[in-house]
Chain A
Amino acid sequence: MVAALIGIGALGVVFGALLGFAAVRYRVEGDPVVDRIDALLPQTQCGQCGFPGCRPYAEAIAAGEADINQCPPGGEATIRALADLLDREPKPLAAEHGETPEVKQVAVIDEQTCIGCTLCIQACPVDAILGAPKQMHTVIAEECTGCKLCLPPCPVDCIEMVPVEEDLEHWVWPHPDEERRHGV
Chain B
Amino acid sequence: MASEKRAEHPLHHFHGGVHLPGHKHESTRLPIRPARLPKVLVIPLAQHIGQPAEPLVAVGDKVLKGQPIARAADYVSAPVHASSSGTVVAIEERPIPHPSGRSAPCIVIETDGQEQWRWRKELPEDYRSMDPSHLRNLIREAGIVGLGGAGFPTAVKLNPLPGKLVKTLILNGAECEPYITCDDMLMRERPYDILSGLEVMRHALQAETCVIAVENNKPQAIEALRQAIRARGLDDVEVVEVPTIYPAGAEKQLIKTITGEEVPSNGLPIDIGVVCHNVGTASAVHRAVTLGEPLISRIVTIAGGVAEPRNLEVLIGTPFHDLLEECHGVPGTLDKLIMGGPMMGVAVHTDAVPVIKTTNCILAVTRADMPLPHRGEARPCIRCGRCYDVCPMELLPQQLYWYARAKDLDKVQEYHLFDCIECGCCDYVCPSHIPLVQYYRYAKTAIWAREREREKADLARRRFEARQARLEREKRERAARHKKRRVASEDERQAKILDALEKAKAKKRAGGGEGEGGGA
Measured CB to CB, the residues of A under 8 A from B are 38, 41-45, 53-55, 125-128, 143, 145, 168, 170-177
CB of B381 closer than 8 Å to a CB of A: no
Which chain A residues border B460 with CB–CB below 8 Å? 43-45, 126, 143, 145
Return the CB mask of B450-476 against A: 1 if under 8 Å, else 0: 001100111111011111100000000
Q: Is the CB of A170 within 8 A of B46?
A: no
Q: Is the CB of A172 within 8 A of B449?
A: yes
- C-alpha gap A55/B467 in the complex (Å): 13
Q: Is the CB of B98 within 8 A of A168?
A: yes
CB of B75 closer than 8 Å to a CB of A: no
Q: Is the CB of A53 within 8 A of B464?
A: yes
With contacts A143-B459, A170-B452, A176-B442 known, is A54 near B464, CB below 8 A? Answer: yes
Q: Is the CB of A175 within 8 A of B442?
A: yes
Q: Is the CB of A174 within 8 A of B442?
A: yes
Which chain B residues border A170 with CB–CB below 8 Å? 448-449, 452
Q: Is the CB of A127 within 8 A of B467?
A: yes
A sample of 9 cross-chain residue pairs with beta-carbon separation below 8 angstroms, ordered by A number, consists of A41-B457, A43-B458, A45-B460, A53-B464, A54-B464, A126-B464, A143-B463, A168-B98, A176-B442
Which chain B residues border A44 with CB–CB below 8 Å? 460
Q: Who on chain B is nearest to A172 by CB?
A: B445
Q: Is the CB of B461 within 8 A of A54?
A: yes
Give 5 nearest A-B pairs by CB, closest first: A43-B460, A43-B457, A126-B463, A173-B441, A172-B445
- Give residues 69-125 of B contacting A (CB, 8 Å): 96, 98-100, 102, 104
CB of B407 closer than 8 Å to a CB of A: yes
With contacts A170-B449, A172-B449, A174-B442 known, is A43 near B102, CB below 8 A? Answer: no
CB of B435 closer than 8 Å to a CB of A: yes
Q: Is the CB of A38 within 8 A of B461?
A: yes
Q: Is the CB of B46 within 8 A of A176?
A: no
Q: Is the CB of B438 within 8 A of A173?
A: yes
With contacts A125-B467, A127-B466 known, is A172 near B446, CB below 8 A? Answer: yes
- C-alpha gap A129/B230 in the complex (Å): 69
- C-alpha gap A122/B46 in the complex (Å): 40
CB of B439 closer than 8 Å to a CB of A: yes
CB of B167 closer than 8 Å to a CB of A: no
Q: Is the CB of B464 within 8 A of A171?
A: no
Q: Is the CB of B99 within 8 A of A45?
A: no
CB of B23 closer than 8 Å to a CB of A: no
Which chain B residues border A41 with CB–CB below 8 Å? 457
CB of A89 to closest CB in B, whole Å: 18
- C-alpha gap A42/B461 in the complex (Å): 9
With contacts A43-B457, A44-B460, A168-B100 known, is A173 near B442, CB below 8 A? Answer: yes
Q: Who on chain A is nearest to B445 by CB?
A: A172
With contacts A42-B457, A43-B457, A43-B458 known, is A176 near B439, CB below 8 A? Answer: yes
Which chain B residues border A171 with CB–CB below 8 Å? 98, 100, 102, 445
Return the CB mask of B391-412 against A: 1 if under 8 Å, else 0: 0000000000000010100000
- C-alpha gap A173/B448 in the complex (Å): 11
CB of B346 to closest CB in A, whole Å: 10
Which chain B residues border A38 with CB–CB below 8 Å? 461
Which chain B residues border A125 with CB–CB below 8 Å? 464, 467
Q: Is the CB of B435 within 8 A of A176?
A: yes
Which chain B residues border A168 with CB–CB below 8 Å? 46, 96, 98, 100, 102, 104
Q: Who on chain A is nearest to B454 by CB?
A: A39
With A125-B467, A171-B100, A173-B438 already in contact, 17 other A-B pairs whose C-beta atoms are closer than 8 Å: A43-B457, A43-B458, A53-B464, A126-B463, A126-B464, A127-B463, A128-B463, A143-B460, A145-B460, A172-B442, A172-B448, A173-B99, A174-B442, A175-B407, A175-B446, A176-B439, A177-B405
Which chain A residues border B441 with CB–CB below 8 Å? 173
Which chain B residues border A143 with CB–CB below 8 Å? 459-460, 463
Interchain CB contact (< 8 A) of A176 among B438, B445, B459: B438
Q: Who on chain B is nearest to A42 by CB?
A: B457
Q: Who on chain A is nearest to B404 by CB?
A: A175
CB of A107 to closest CB in B, whole Å: 14
Q: Who on chain B is nearest to A53 by CB?
A: B464
- C-alpha gap A172/B453 in the complex (Å): 13
Which chain A residues border B463 with CB–CB below 8 Å? 126-128, 143
Q: Which of A41, A44, A127, A173 has the most CB of B within 10 A?
A: A173
CB of B418 to closest CB in A, whole Å: 15
- C-alpha gap A55/B461 in the complex (Å): 9
Which chain A residues border B104 with CB–CB below 8 Å? 168
CB of B140 to closest CB in A, whole Å: 21
CB of A110 to closest CB in B, whole Å: 24
Which chain A residues border B98 with CB–CB below 8 Å? 168, 171
Which chain B residues border A175 with CB–CB below 8 Å? 405, 407, 439, 442, 446
CB of A29 to closest CB in B, whole Å: 16
Q: Is the CB of A126 within 8 A of B467?
A: yes
- C-alpha gap A176/B457 in the complex (Å): 28
CB of B443 to closest CB in A, whole Å: 9
Q: Which of B378, B456, B457, B468 has the most CB of A within 10 A?
A: B457
CB of B496 to closest CB in A, whole Å: 37
Q: Is the CB of A45 within 8 A of B464?
A: yes
Which chain B residues border A145 with CB–CB below 8 Å? 456, 460
CB of A63 to closest CB in B, whole Å: 19
Which chain A residues border B99 with CB–CB below 8 Å? 173
Which chain A residues border B465 with CB–CB below 8 Å? 55
CB of A74 to closest CB in B, whole Å: 10
Which chain B residues border A45 with CB–CB below 8 Å? 460, 464
- Give residues 402-447 of B contacting A (CB, 8 Å): 405, 407, 435, 438-439, 441-442, 444-446
- C-alpha gap A41/B464 in the complex (Å): 13
- C-alpha gap A44/B457 in the complex (Å): 7
CB of B307 to closest CB in A, whole Å: 30
CB of B183 to closest CB in A, whole Å: 27
CB of A12 to closest CB in B, whole Å: 44
Q: Is the CB of B461 within 8 A of A173?
A: no
- C-alpha gap A125/B470 in the complex (Å): 12
